[in-house]
């Protein structure tokens, strides 16, 4: 499956003297995007000798004992007078990889593309080394548009969305939808790899049972405001002793792997960011379903999760909106301009429609306000607030 938005981003930055960094959760397709882009360059006539491609999680890739050894392997492409294209997949596996990337960035004829599976790639020493010298693209599991376009078997739009809601958007899982048990086993394997390889091992966590309990808690509370003290209290009532510092560090580690995304609150009236409480959305609804199972009562929360991820793909910033009278599901910023979003399973009941419109009507500006719903009804305008069917919106790939 080609990822049109990712490929367009890479095209936009090609041949510019800045490092292109693709980040995202494990198994979301970063390696495939990198390989597809290499193949695009070859198809456009770039000689194979001007391309260096290293997948550091591939057993066939040489295991370098130092960053200098890796540099010697890359030198024939990156060290000459001609333009060379360097692809480093999961670069964090190279010892002192920060020095390797820093050195490559000084080569004016090297066009560099790297990937990493956790935010540490940019939040640690590499981010310090490369300040002002990189651009980042965060890749997510398949959007519904990508999932729909890549599906092998024909199905109606509603049926396809039900599959997406249930199985999620990990590319490999998308090929297993005829076998729900296999999808579940695969997704649980991905989840366990993230927890034990990227979180427990990297952060030397000993309280693994507590970490797993926190993951279940976050998956169970999608769409609800979460505070560290609330989590500590909930765990203590279940007989699990912990501290706010421990929970806070676990939350940071889980977000660092992109397993969860933290949505902070934004004060719409005061136009400021609120530091207390936040919502945590899963990187993929399939992971949540695999761990907790499907429950009809969760449909609204899963829908909200999918909309959050879609807005993350389309806008620079996504927040939970806070008003004196309540919440707006999401506030997005694109080019510094806010938009406001509500999400509902259905608004055909006039009372439900009034409830969803009320917080948007309380916002005293003229920026875009939208209610997204699973109702497959035509777009309607309510004093400037649009009520839009969600599925066409997800397929539109626009804003």
Q: Give 18-57 pLDDT, tens digit per residue.
A: 999 999 999 999 999 999 999 999 999 999 999 999 999 8
Locus of tokens 């290499």: 38
Locus of tokens 């300040």: 131
Locus of tokens 């790297």: 114
pTM, full prediction? 0.93
The DSSP H or E segment spanning 303 is: helix 299-314
Distance between CA atoms of 268 and 363, rounded to whole angstroms?
8
Query: Quick check: helix, strand or coil at residue 396?
Result: helix
Q: Is residue 44 a contact partner of residue 38, using CB atoms and an 8 Å limit?
A: no
Q: Which fold has domain 4-138?
A: Rossmann fold (3.40.50)
pLDDT at residue 173, as a whole number? 93
Report the share of the chain in percent with pLDDT over 90: 75
pLDDT at 89 over 90: yes
Interval 86-115 mean pLDDT: 91
- Give me the phi and psi of 221, to 5 degrees please: -115, 30
Query: Quick check: helix, strand or coil at residue 370?
Result: strand
Tokens of 66: 């130092």
Report the share of the chain in percent with pLDDT over 70: 95
Q: Is residue 304 a contact partner of residue 239, using CB atoms and an 8 Å limit?
A: no
Using alpha carbons only, how large is the chain's radius of gyration in Å? Answer: 22
**C-alpha torsion sign, points 184, 185, 190, 191:** positive
Interval 315-337 mean pLDDT: 94
pLDDT at residue 75, as a whole number? 93
Question: What region does 199 belong to: left with phi over 0, alpha with psi -120 to 50, or beta?
Answer: alpha
Least confident of 14-23, 171-180, 337-346: 171-180
pLDDT tens, position by position, 244-260: 999 999 999 999 999 99
The closest alpha carbon to 16, from 126, 97, 133, 98, belongs to 133
In the DSSP assignment, the letter for residue 142 is: P
- If you average pLDDT over every residue of the chain, what do you get? 92
pLDDT at residue 126, as a whole number? 65
Distance between CA atoms of 90 and 253, rounded to whole angstroms?
18
pLDDT at residue 153, as a whole number? 61
pLDDT at residue 297, as a whole number? 58
Distance between CA atoms of 91 and 109, rounded to whole angstroms?
20
What confidence category does residue 137 fall into, taking pLDDT thresholds of 50, 70 and 90?
very high
Interval 350-365 mean pLDDT: 96
Domains of the chain: which residue ranges?
A: 4-138, 144-396
pLDDT at residue 57, as a whole number? 85
Who contacts 192 (Cβ-Cβ below 8 Å, separation ≥6)? none
Tokens of 178: 């005829």
Distance between CA atoms of 284 and 251, rounded to whole angstroms?
17
Distance between CA atoms of 88 and 105, rounded to whole angstroms?
13
Long-range pairs, 10-13, Cβ under 8 A, ≥24:
10/37, 10/113, 10/137, 13/135
């Amino acid at each position: 499956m080609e990822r049109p938005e990712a490929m367009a981003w890479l095209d936009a930055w090609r041949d510019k003297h800045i490092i292109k960094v693709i980040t995202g959760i494990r198994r979301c397709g970063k390696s495939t995007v990198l390989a597809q882009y290499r193949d695009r360059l070859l198809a456009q006539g770039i000689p194979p000798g001007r391309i260096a491609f290293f997948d550091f999680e591939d057993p066939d890739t040489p295991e370098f004992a130092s960053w200098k050894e890796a540099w010697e392997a890359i030198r024939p492409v990156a060290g000459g007078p001609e333009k060379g294209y360097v692809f480093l997949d999961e670069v964090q596996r190279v010892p002192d990889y920060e020095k390797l990337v820093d050195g490559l960035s000084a080569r004016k004829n090297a066009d560099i593309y790297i990937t990493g599976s956790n935010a540490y790639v940019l939040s640690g020493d590499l981010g310090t080394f490369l300040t002002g010298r990189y651009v980042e693209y965060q890749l997510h599991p398949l959007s519904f548009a990508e999932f729909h376009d890549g599906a092998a078997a024909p199905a109606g739009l509603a049926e396809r969305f039900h599959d997406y809601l249930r199985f999620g958007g990990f590319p490999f899982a998308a090929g297993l939808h005829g076998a729900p048990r296999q999808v579940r086993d695969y997704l649980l394997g991905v989840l366990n790899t993230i927890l034990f390889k990227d979180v427990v091992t990297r952060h030397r966590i000993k309280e693994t049972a507590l970490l797993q309990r926190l993951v279940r808690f976050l998956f169970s509370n999608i769409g609800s405001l979460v505070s560290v003290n609330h989590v500590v209290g909930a765990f203590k009532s279940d007989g699990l002793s912990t501290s706010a510092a421990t929970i806070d560090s676990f939350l940071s580690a889980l977000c660092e792997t992109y397993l969860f995304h933290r949505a902070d609150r934004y004060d719409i009236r005061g136009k400021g960011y609120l530091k207390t409480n936040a919502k945590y959305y899963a990187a993929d609804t399939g992971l949540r379903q695999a761990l907790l199972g499907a429950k009809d009562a969760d449909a609204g929360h899963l829908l909200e999760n999918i909309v959050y991820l879609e807005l993350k793909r389309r806008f620079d910033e996504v927040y939970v909106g806070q008003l004196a009278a309540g919440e707006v599901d999401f506030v997005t910023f694109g080019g510094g301009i806010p938009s406001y979003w509500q999400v509902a399973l259905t608004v055909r009941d006039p009372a439900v429609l009034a409830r969803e419109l009320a917080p948007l009507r309380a916002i005293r500006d003229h920026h875009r306000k939208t209610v997204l719903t699973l109702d497959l009804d035509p777009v309607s305008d309510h004093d400037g607030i649009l009520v839009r069917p969600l599925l066409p919106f997800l397929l539109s790939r626009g804003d």
